[in-house]
Structure 1
Amino acid sequence: MEQKNILISPLDWGIGHAARCIPIINNFINQGCSITIFASEEINNFFKIRFGENIFYINDKSKPFSYNKKISLLKIFHFALKMKKNTIVENRLCAELCENKKYDLIISDNRYGFKHDNIKSVLITHQLMPIPPFIFRFSKPIIKNYLKKIFSSFSEVWVPDYKKPDGLAGKLSHVNFKIPNLKYINPLSRFEKLEINSLPIDENKILLISSGPKNHRKIISKNFASIFEKIPNINVFIIGTTPFETKNKKINTIESPSDNEIFELITTSSIIIAGAGYSTIMDLYALKRSAILVPTRGQTEQIYLSKLHEKNMLIARKFKTLKIMLENLKETSYLLKKKEENFNIFN
């Protein structure tokens, strides 16, 4: 039987989109498929740590898509124009890649333009209907019609969530309009097939999972480190950011940990602090760990997801709240343990 060639391209917005592609890549490798990744240099380095020379890598040198925290009608209009331009660029890049090599399947994680009219193209997304800022709620019908057009241009749309409402993404992935080519493929986590070990939890170990774009990760990590420096008798591990100077020698930064290292840190840390991104939430649920979720200001998706998971997680919407939580480590650790005892996917 002829080997199938598969082209995969995740959105360059932090590591989350790449991380949730890992189970899909593993599945295709087990089927004997040839995998090519088209992504930024940082994302490709992330995959190289995990797959080595078992797959092919092509660096995407186009400018990564970015978001602006400051909201105005002009910025929303500029955002829409930039998104349309990005979609055209992605479509052109995909066409060029398909001219140089024959692919049997294209998988795009949240890249709306990365598809080919003559090749089966799949879009992975958990946001079937994003949540606009409240003052722009009037734009919902426009967004809905735009996305329906995007979804219909792909052969299939794969949603990494349970079909049963509310799943893990709630109304983001469960909508009231029909998408004929929609498939729910259940949550995707790189840890889903790893056995949860019986290593004891270290009561003095705190883990910060830094996520989002590279510059954002470094700023957030430095801000959090300023809290840790004032807390005695703790060992802090910050993953996903470049090392930076700190007064506290017990703060350890690991820029590119392996999945086994991350797995060990998540399963043995007393307190886990993370953003409220969907990929992070899928990983926490796969390992049945409660954490302090810190939604990024201005990101309606993360604000919504943090509210949705309040039963299983602690939420720190403000830096001041997180500081109070960490200054009361024993109480915070106790609250997280109680949530884990009653951990439930379907609230």
Structure 2
Amino acid sequence: MGHATRCIPIINSLIEHGFLPIIASDGVALELLKKEFPELQSIELPSYNITYAKKANSFKLKLIKDSPHLLKTIKKEKKHIESIVECEAISGIISDNRFGVRHKQIPSVFITHQLRVLSGSTTWLSSKLHQKIISKFHECWVPDHIGTKNLSGNLGHIEGFPQDVKYLGPLTRFKKIDTKAKYDLLVLLSGPEPQRTFLEEKLLSDLEHYKGKILLIKGKIESNQQKEILGNITIYNFMTSTELEIAINESNLILSRSGYTTIMDLAKLEKKAFFIPTPGQFEQEYLAKKLNDESIVPYSTQNEFNIKMLSEVENYSGFESQEYVVNYNKLFSLF
């Protein structure tokens, strides 16, 4: 979902500069982009079907087990892209972390904030494999600031990286709005199952003890939007970009995963937050710890979290936005 939402400003910029994007994705990511851009042509790609292990310590083992399916999907992606190139007048390809979405004869860009892929003791291997994939693309775009004051830290910044890397600044579909607070707490749920559901069940129980007005968004993209009210909690299955932009702006505190797209969104909107990284996901754990160490956002593991921890936010600065202007004329000149 995060990869899909951070593509929204790229798609809008392509349209503004005279390009006609074709959306290619799968699952809930495709459904979200179709809702955002109903006028654009969309194509369904083979699904990676990535799910997380039920136990955090099984995360790496599950990825190894799923790797044959991943390799097959990449081959299927390549065939789909070849077919699209034959049928459409494609002048460029932009892939957000889809390894097989590229073509040797078409300028192909890979978007990632992970030049280094954390995997515990095998970080050196996972990073080398990812860097090999990146090298097959014509350019690599990193959605982050280029300097030391950045959001991705060691993930998106490697000294002497061999590939042609361009830093775009944080990508977000949102804008900061001066508005009165409507909610004391906004809970944003996201990520693959089963961990999304585990956190939802835990928080619904914990939030009964929270004094304040709460908005909870489940992050489940379905055909129809549903709204439910439980005491002081208003619950939506999903929100459109416009609705979510307003909701975040109208909320005093955000409780969510420490996914990179969420971090970029909250940085733009200059919000205070509390993070619960997805168990076993090294990237989210690293980002949560980084922001905690910088006294920006506190965090807790999923198992240890309790609602009283939200008071720790008072001792943290929250996010501050840094202006970053992208020269899209120069960026899109590749195409």
AA at the equivalent of 2:178: S
- Give 1:65's aligned residue: 50
Hey, what's the Cα distance between the residues in 2 that align with 1:214 and 1:37? 24
Residue 24 of structure 1 is aligned with which of 2, 10, 17?
A: 10
- Give 1:36's aligned residue: 22
The C-alpha deviation readout for 1:245-287, integer Å capped at 9, x for no partner, is: 9893332222231222212221221221010000000000011
After TM superposition, give the deviation of residue 106 of structure 1 in Å. Answer: 0.7
Asked whether the equivalents of residues 148 and 179 of structure 1 are also in contact (C-alpha less than 8 Å), the reply is no
- Give 1:7's aligned residue: none
AA at the equivalent of 1:290: K
2:41 is equivalent to residue 56 of structure 1: yes
Worse-matched range after superposition: 121-130 or 209-218: 209-218
- Give 2:308's aligned residue: 324
- Give 1:302's aligned residue: 284
After TM superposition, give the deviation of residue 307 of structure 1 in Å. Answer: 0.9
The C-alpha deviation readout for 1:156-215, integer Å capped at 9, x for no partner, is: 111111111351100001113422321111110111xx3x3332224x531111111265
Hey, what's the Cα distance between the residues in 2 that align with 1:180 and 1:86? 25
Residue 137 of structure 2 is aligned with which of 142, 154, 161?
A: 154
Hey, what's the Cα distance between the residues in 1 that align with 2:186 and 2:119? 31
Change (3 A) 1:179 1:67: farther
Residue 200 of structure 1 is aligned with which of 180, 183, 187?
A: 180
Hey, what's the Cα distance between the residues in 1 that align with 2:74 and 2:240? 32
- Give 2:332's aligned residue: none
Asked whether the equivalents of residues 237 and 252 of structure 1 are also in contact (C-alpha less than 8 Å), the reply is yes
AA at the equivalent of 1:312: I
Change (3 A) 1:262 1:76: closer
Hey, what's the Cα distance between the residues in 1 that align with 2:214 and 2:58? 38
Matches within 5 A, 1:269-284: 269-284=251-266
Hey, what's the Cα distance between the residues in 2 that align with 1:129 and 1:332? 30
Asked whether the equivalents of residues 106 and 120 of structure 1 are also in contact (C-alpha less than 8 Å), the reply is yes
Change (3 A) 1:319 1:271: farther
Asked whether the equivalents of residues 273 and 313 of structure 2 are also in contact (C-alpha less than 8 Å), the reply is no
Residue 314 of structure 1 is aligned with which of 298, 304, 309?
A: 298
2:173 is equivalent to residue 187 of structure 1: no
Change (3 A) 1:79 1:237: closer
Hey, what's the Cα distance between the residues in 1 that align with 2:129 and 2:313? 44
AA at the equivalent of 1:271: L
CA RMSD of aligned residues (A): 2.8
Asked whether the equivalents of residues 122 and 155 of structure 1 are also in contact (C-alpha less than 8 Å), the reply is yes
AA at the equivalent of 1:220: L
Asked whether the equivalents of residues 199 and 268 of structure 1 are also in contact (C-alpha less than 8 Å), the reply is yes
Any idea what SS the aligned residue of 1:71 has?
A: helix
- Give 1:339's aligned residue: 317
- Give 1:211's aligned residue: 190
After TM superposition, give the deviation of residue 101 of structure 1 in Å. Answer: 1.7
After TM superposition, give the deviation of residue 50 of structure 1 in Å. Answer: 2.1
| Alignment TM-score, normalising by the size of structure 2 | 0.84
Worse-matched range after superposition: 266-275 or 40-49: 40-49
Any idea what SS the aligned residue of 2:217 has?
A: strand
Structure 1 residue runs of 5 or longer lacking an equivalent are 1-14
- Give 2:206's aligned residue: 227
2:269 is equivalent to residue 287 of structure 1: yes
Worse-matched range after superposition: 72-81 or 253-262: 72-81
| Alignment TM-score, normalising by the size of structure 1 | 0.81
Change (3 A) 1:86 1:32: same
Aligned length: 316
Worse-matched range after superposition: 301-310 or 80-89: 80-89
Hey, what's the Cα distance between the residues in 2 that align with 1:237 and 1:82? 34
Hey, what's the Cα distance between the residues in 2 that align with 1:75 and 1:218? 19
Change (3 A) 1:318 1:62: closer
Asked whether the equivalents of residues 209 and 240 of structure 1 are also in contact (C-alpha less than 8 Å), the reply is yes
Hey, what's the Cα distance between the residues in 2 that align with 1:294 and 1:284? 15
Asked whether the equivalents of residues 253 and 273 of structure 2 are also in contact (C-alpha less than 8 Å), the reply is yes
Percent of aligned positions that are identical: 30
Structure 2 residue runs of 5 or longer lacking an equivalent are 323-335
- Give 1:253's aligned residue: 235
Hey, what's the Cα distance between the residues in 1 that align with 2:302 and 2:199? 13
Change (3 A) 1:141 1:333: closer
Change (3 A) 1:61 1:73: closer
